[in-house]
Structure 1
Amino acid sequence: MIRHILQLFITGLLLAGCAATQSSGTAGAGDTPLSAQQNRETVTILISIDGFRPDYLNRGITPNLSTLAASGVYADMRSSFPTKTFPNHWTLVTGKRPDNHGIVGNSMEDKARPGERFTMSNKDPFWWNQAEPIWITAEKQGVRSATMFWPGSEVELDGTRPGDWWPFSQALSNDRRINAVVDWMRRPAATRPQLITLYFDTVDTAGHFFGPAPGEKLHAAIGAVDQNIGVLKNQLLELGQPVNFIITSDHGMAETHPDRVIYLDNILPRDQYRLVVDGNYAGIEPLTDDMSAINTAFLKPHENMECWKREDIPARFQYGKNPRVPSILCLPETGWVIYQDKPQWMTGIGGGHGYDHLHPDMIAFFLANGPDIQSNGKIETFDNVDIYSLIAHLVDVKPNASDGDISSFEQALKP
């Protein structure tokens, strides 16, 4: 069954890549066709390629992204800890680290909601309202926004939503996502978004299934998304629509293997604690107020793993002040995983993320290209909290207080 699903998945990627190739090229984003006579305001499109490692750009399979990088700027970007999808996507659009924006994991608990657990399908504002995303700030300041998927973009905060938004569906193909963005750009100026987010999940999915090493199946996913971006770029070019592209990932990807599993049952029987999250790190809560057994079991030295009390998590992670952080955090060596039971799907080499955000395999990707962006090539590595300030600058929105600033982009922005 799993093999059949994977075959369907890869077939879809290959077909998508072929279809995109027929209609995409590598024209520069700043080029303007002779037929384009419309006087349009520049829009900013923030694109996330989930799980895209910086070295994927060097594999000779991304002509569109490589062209944008060569005529703009690109960089390695440090993710925030934990290097998971929801925490880092919320960081990108709030400028705050997970400790400060409240989305401290893909799975988490809050003592204010006993018996409840946040998962990636949760749209309750309670979980999201510790920080305001850029599209809400933009709408409050009269700048129309639209979200073609982004974690948290379906949530109504302070009675406000993006001007346009679609409920997330992994079944919605990348070309349909692009078509929606182009349709928004065909509108009259009064209803045309000035800030758009666009999210691609297929590279991350392929990385989990096949690992980050060069391989036909992963490269099919990378190449297909590159072609999707080429289609978007060229369709907007035909409309005469100037665009500042901000293209990022949320984290990197490390190789995992079924021989590198840490079994929690070898540390403490599972009926003596509550497991909040497992996999690339583990979050553990006590069943009662008595932490003694848990502390004795987990806070001693372990092979291939280190555990801390929430308040003792090393300062370099900038993680542990928020009460939603688990009482005990266990972080394995990069490439190892933590489970009570090894998942059935874990039968060979795969990929994972959630590890130390400073490990090279967890570094994320950044690219910017457009009328307001210099052509300076590779710039210095920076923290992903700075992206928020860049977007606010490009769409002329006064940003809220954040953990980042605009200084990382002095080499990137035109005067």
Structure 2
Amino acid sequence: MKPVLSALALTFAAFAGGCTSVSSPPMAAAPVSVREPVTILVSIDGFHPDYLDRGLTPNLSQLASGGVTAAMRPSFPTKTFPNHWTLVTGLVPDHHGIIANRMEDRTRPDEPFTMASVDPFWWNDARPIWVEAEEAGIRTAAMFWPGSAVPWGGTSQRRGPVSDGVLPSDWQQFSMQVSNTQRVNSVLDWLRRPEDIRPEFVTLYFDTVDTAGHDGGPGSGEVNAGLKDIDGHIGALISGLNELGQTANLVIVSDHGMAPTSSERVIVLDQIVDPSLYRLVESGAYATFEATQGNEAAFEAAILADHARMECWPKSDIPARFQYGTHDRIPPYFCLPETGWTVTRSAPSGDWTGGNHGFDPFAPEMAALFIANGPAFASGKGIPAFQNVAIAPLLRELIGLPQKQRADGSLEDVKGALRAPR
């Protein structure tokens, strides 16, 4: 698809002409409907900012050059669900409770959290921005976003449905069977509605690039194909907005980047710690553990010893720069390998290559995308690097919500992206 010239900052005008005759006065001009800008938060999961340099994303690159860009640092751990919840709450995972893609809670030992969990029990530590918007009378819609199908504030019911709680006015449960074309068309269909049922804040989520990065690694042909696909759909979104005469403030982000991994860079836990001493909670880009009963001292001595290409801590000693280690759901012990290394319980069979994330958020490979373009934003500007906890304050400013007292990010971190008032 050819690059679509950004018209997001243009004022759309419509004209209606009258007709005259000798027997009747001129007709009055039809009233012109002026659309207020909509705020659209777009996540391209797993999109590293350097992907813009491959010459495969003309639409995204044009939005970046004509808008505002910055290096954005994800929060830790650099996983999908923790960072998507950070983006819409303004809190780090240690404070909002979604501390991993898979986690456990000691009050529910037999019901771990997975990426399909919609029970409010797991999500109620922090209100997402669409809940506060809905409560303020600002209509919202979510074309997929982790947590958007959760009735926030609802009463948890073990193994049963939850009917109460606040949801976006319009939302869809995530399904990879819903194509990217269908996702874009759904957003445009919402924006075709009459003003009283038209959303003012919309989320849109794409997983194509992340899936390709896991399968082939960040330098793969799979990723390049994913970049072309997503860029084409961004172009379709912009074209659709232009056809509607709908101005938009686009905030385009990713949750994390992607690091290359392979079977040649693996740390095998059972080769360094007696497997009877621990229960493994998570593994991969990091590992979390509990000691088995009666083996706490032996396990701690083994896991906290020096290891090649991996550091381990009790949760209370995780370095402060990660802003991680106080939430009850974080297991007692945590190990972080060098970026690109995989922690696994047993030795893998066969050779493989791929990609992963979850590593140190300060590693260059984990950097996240940030592009802002629209009437609220400056043009052709870069701003200093910032952490993704600042996205929620930026969204609050765009849709007219007051800033929160309980927040880990500040509008000040991204205020330079906004157009100076005239």
Alpha-carbon distance in 2 for matches of 1:139, 1:395:
11
Deviation at 1:27, TM superposition (A): 3.8
Structure 1's 190 and 97: CA in aligned 2 closer, same or farther, altered over 3 A?
same
Deviation at 1:73, TM superposition (A): 0.1
Alpha-carbon distance in 1 for matches of 2:69, 2:347:
38
Task: Show the counterpart of 2:157.
Answer: none
Deviation at 1:340, TM superposition (A): 1.3
Q: Is 1:77 aligned to residue 77 of structure 2?
A: no
What letter is aligned with 1:88? N
Deviation at 1:216, TM superposition (A): 2.8
Q: Is 1:328 aligned to residue 323 of structure 2?
A: no
Alpha-carbon distance in 1 for matches of 2:294, 2:400:
49
**SS state at 2:393 partner:** helix
Task: Show the counterpart of 1:120.
Answer: 115
Superimposed CA distance per residue, residues 262-301 of structure 1 (whole angstroms, 9 cap, x where no aligned partner): 1111122334321111000001012326511210110000
Range 34-43 or range 296-305, more displaced: 34-43
Task: Show the counterpart of 2:159.
Answer: none
Which of 386, 392, 395 pairs up with 1:388?
A: 392
Superimposed CA distance per residue, residues 145-196 of structure 1 (whole angstroms, 9 cap, x where no aligned partner): 1000011111001211110010000121100000100000000000000010
Alpha-carbon distance in 2 for matches of 1:59, 1:410:
29
**SS state at 1:335 partner:** coil
Task: Show the counterpart of 2:180.
Answer: 174
Q: Is 1:259 aligned to residue 238 of structure 2?
A: no
Task: Show the counterpart of 1:25.
Answer: 4
Report if aligned partners of 2:214, 2:356 keep a CA contact under 8 Å in 1. Answer: yes
Task: Show the counterpart of 2:363.
Answer: 359
Superimposed CA distance per residue, residues 8-56 of structure 1 (whole angstroms, 9 cap, x where no aligned partner): xxxxxxxxxxxxx28x734443246666964101110000000000101
What letter is aligned with 1:275? L
**SS state at 1:64 partner:** helix
Alpha-carbon distance in 2 for matches of 1:409, 1:76:
11
Alpha-carbon distance in 2 for matches of 1:411, 1:120:
35
Alignment of 1:188-199 (within 5 A): 188-199=194-205
Task: Show the counterpart of 1:222.
Answer: 227
Q: Which has the larger radius of gyration?
A: 2
What letter is aligned with 1:25? V
What letter is aligned with 1:245? L
Alignment of 1:148-297 (within 5 A): 148-158=143-153, 159-213=165-219, 215-288=220-293, 290-297=295-302
**SS state at 1:169 partner:** coil
TM-score, structure 1 as length reference: 0.91
How many aligned positions are there?
A: 392
Report if aligned partners of 1:106, 1:118 keep a CA contact under 8 Å in 2. Answer: yes
Task: Show the counterpart of 2:379.
Answer: 375
Task: Show the counterpart of 2:21.
Answer: none
Range 385-394 or range 115-124, more displaced: 115-124
Unpaired segments of 5 or more residues in structure 2? Answer: 16-31, 154-164
Which of 47, 70, 94 pairs up with 2:89?
A: 94
Structure 1's 343 and 129: CA in aligned 2 closer, same or farther, altered over 3 A?
farther
Superimposed CA distance per residue, residues 100-135 of structure 1 (whole angstroms, 9 cap, x where no aligned partner): 000111111111212321111111111100000000
Deviation at 1:200, TM superposition (A): 0.3
Structure 1's 238 and 208: CA in aligned 2 closer, same or farther, altered over 3 A?
same
Report if aligned partners of 1:44, 1:244 keep a CA contact under 8 Å in 2. Answer: yes
Structure 1's 290 and 74: CA in aligned 2 closer, same or farther, altered over 3 A?
same
Range 394-403 or range 56-65, more displaced: 394-403
Deviation at 1:372, TM superposition (A): 0.7
Which of 39, 48, 53 pairs up with 2:43?
A: 48
Range 263-272 or range 116-125, more displaced: 263-272
Alpha-carbon distance in 1 for matches of 2:275, 2:117:
26
How large is the Cα RMSD of the aligned pairs? 1.6
Alpha-carbon distance in 2 for matches of 1:306, 1:331:
5
Among the aligned pairs, what percent are the same residue? 51
Report if aligned partners of 1:137, 1:399 keep a CA contact under 8 Å in 2. Answer: no
Alpha-carbon distance in 1 for matches of 2:301, 2:110:
25
Alpha-carbon distance in 2 for matches of 1:289, 1:164:
51
**SS state at 2:289 partner:** strand
Deviation at 1:326, TM superposition (A): 1.4
Structure 1's 76 and 178: CA in aligned 2 closer, same or farther, altered over 3 A?
same
Task: Show the counterpart of 1:314.
Answer: 319
Unpaired segments of 5 or more residues in structure 1? Answer: 1-20
Task: Show the counterpart of 1:10.
Answer: none
Range 270-279 or range 98-107, more displaced: 270-279
What letter is aligned with 1:145? T
Alpha-carbon distance in 1 for matches of 2:14, 2:243:
8
